[in-house]
Amino acid sequence: MLVLERHLGESLRIGHEIELRVVSRQGDTITLELQAPEGVKATVERRYDSRRAASQRPPAPQPVALPPSTLPRLSLKRRA
């Protein structure tokens, strides 16, 4: 992991095509500007984590239609 400190207006380049610039700061929040080629995907970490968790969940069971002949017959007795 690489930890960098950037000031307002400064940027970070990743390769030749990606630039990340600090454009504003309010309290603990900073606003970043990302310039990258159209094909580059960028995802906010908490969204990425939730998508990753969702993709790792087992799929929900799907209902299966059974023909009536395969269902057990129940005999009900009335209590007196």
Q: Which domain holds residue 32?
A: 1-51
Q: Is 66 part of any domain? A: no
40 vs 37: CA distance, rounded Å: 6
Q: Is 56 part of any domain? A: no
Q: Is 6 part of any domain? A: yes
Q: Is 32 part of any domain? A: yes
pLDDT in tens, 14-32: 888 889 999 998 888 888 8
pLDDT in tens, 28-74: 888 888 888 888 887 777 765 666 677 776 767 776 666 666 555 55
Q: Is 63 part of any domain? A: no
In the chain, the number of structural domains is 1
Q: Is 9 part of any domain? A: yes
18 - beta bridge partners? 14
Handedness of CA 68, 69, 72, 78 (dihedral sign): positive
Q: Is 76 part of any domain? A: no
Q: Is 12 part of any domain? A: yes
For the record, the structure tokens of 77 come out as 């007795």
